[in-house]
């Protein structure tokens, strides 16, 4: 009878056990309903925020298939998800889907619109960001969005780091004080403050405009948080009205420049941390259903969302909602 070396035997047993566990893990994750996991995540964020501030607006960006049970237009609307949110952000609806400054193909536009309208019909406000720089195309984008009952921002730079100088008069500019999302007639998407030397420069530039809603980051480029007092200053329109200030927050990817990032994650990464996004250096896919990742985002006094609430923002703009597509593939 052939004698098996004890070390080799143990190695085989351990490897077999490890392989079995890994296979079980892969099977378990492949059987997940990734759409529902993202819905649950957003609903949890909504409940946590609105418990503290009932008027707080929850606005997921992209990932519009979540509005129905299975992502199909013909399917039943997902009422729990639709009730948890106040609006939908959508990029590239009319311009920029395949390439900036290029019109989105009509079939894609129609498919996205059909789902956006399910959310709109449920009482949610639709915010569209198109990416184009030719003035005639920018005009067309605004006109198309107005015709569809959406409020929109046409960005001439995907970096979202500049207040555009066109059009010279903001679309649907008004003197009203906007305190809820449904009252907004226009918005500015300005999440990268790198072109502003100081916070006060940023505040001065924003308060010189009459946008009804500003989507911005919690942090200035020096890493400091915008305080509640600074957010209060940003609410002032130049014409005397008030506006909403909404905070950008990515929940479907981890960003290595955020306060929560640990220096050893590159070699000793958490189990929920996944591949780097090839299109955005420093952004990493996450297993967003993992409780450890979610606890970084919300649910406790040190979470990202709590910092947003403490700074007295009026809402949160949730990005990488469409992360479920990565895992479904």
pLDDT digits (tens, 9 = 90+) for 4-47: 344 454 444 444 444 444 444 444 566 899 999 999 999 999 99
The residues, any chain, with a CB within 8 Å of residue 86's CB and separated by 6 or more, are 57, 58, 59, 124, 125, 181, 182, 315
Does the pTM of the predicted model rise above 0.85? yes
pLDDT given at position 31? 84
Q: Which fold has domain 32-328?
A: TIM Barrel (3.20.20)
Left if phi > 0, otherwise alpha if psi is -120 to 50, otherwise beta: which for 129? beta
CB atoms < 10 A from the CB of 271, how many?
A: 10
Q: Are 134 and 161 in contact (CB under 8 A)?
A: no
- Mean pLDDT computed over 72-95: 98
User: Taking the domains of the chain in order of start, what are their residue ranges?
Assistant: 1-31, 32-328
Closest to 148 (Cα-Cα) out of 112, 188, 108? 112
pLDDT digits (tens, 9 = 90+) for 135-179: 999 999 999 999 999 999 999 999 999 999 999 999 999 999 999
């Amino acid at each position: 009878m052939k004698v098996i070396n004890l070390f080799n035997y143990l190695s085989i047993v351990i490897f077999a056990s490890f392989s079995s566990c890994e296979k079980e893990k892969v099977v378990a994750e492949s059987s997940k309903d990734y759409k529902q996991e993202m819905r649950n995540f957003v609903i949890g964020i909504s409940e946590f925020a609105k418990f503290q501030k009932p008027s707080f607006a929850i606005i997921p960006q992209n990932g519009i298939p979540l509005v129905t049970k299975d992502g199909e237009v013909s399917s039943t609307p997902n009422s729990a998800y639709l009730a948890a949110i106040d609006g939908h952000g959508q990029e590239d609806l009319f311009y920029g889907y395949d390439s900036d400054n290029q019109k989105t193909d009509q079939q894609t536009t129609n498919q996205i619109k059909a789902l956006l309208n399910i959310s709109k019909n449920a009482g949610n406000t639709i915010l569209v960001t198109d990416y184009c720089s030719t003035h005639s195309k920018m005009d067309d984008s605004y006109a198309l969005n107005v015709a569809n009952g959406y409020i929109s921002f046409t960005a001439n730079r995907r970096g979202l780091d500049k207040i555009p100088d066109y059009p010279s008069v903001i679309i649907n500019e008004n003197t009203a004080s906007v305190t809820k999302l449904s009252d907004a007639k226009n918005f500015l998407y300005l999440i990268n403050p790198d072109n502003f030397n100081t916070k006060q420069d940023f505040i001065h530039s924003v308060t010189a405009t009459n946008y009804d809603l500003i989507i911005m980051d919690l942090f200035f480029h020096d890493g400091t948080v915008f305080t509640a007092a600074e957010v209060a200053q940003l609410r002032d329109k130049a014409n005397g009205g008030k506006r909403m200030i909404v905070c950008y927050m990515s929940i479907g990817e981890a960003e290595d420049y955020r306060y929560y990032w640990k220096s050893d994650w590159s070699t000793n990464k958490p189990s929920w941390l996944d591949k780097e996004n090839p299109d955005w250096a420093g952004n990493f896919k996450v297993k967003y259903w993992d409780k450890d990742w979610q606890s970084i985002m919300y649910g406790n006094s040190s979470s990202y969302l709590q910092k947003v609430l403490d700074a007295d923002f009026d809402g949160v703009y949730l990005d990488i909602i469409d992360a479920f597509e990565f895992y479904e593939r």
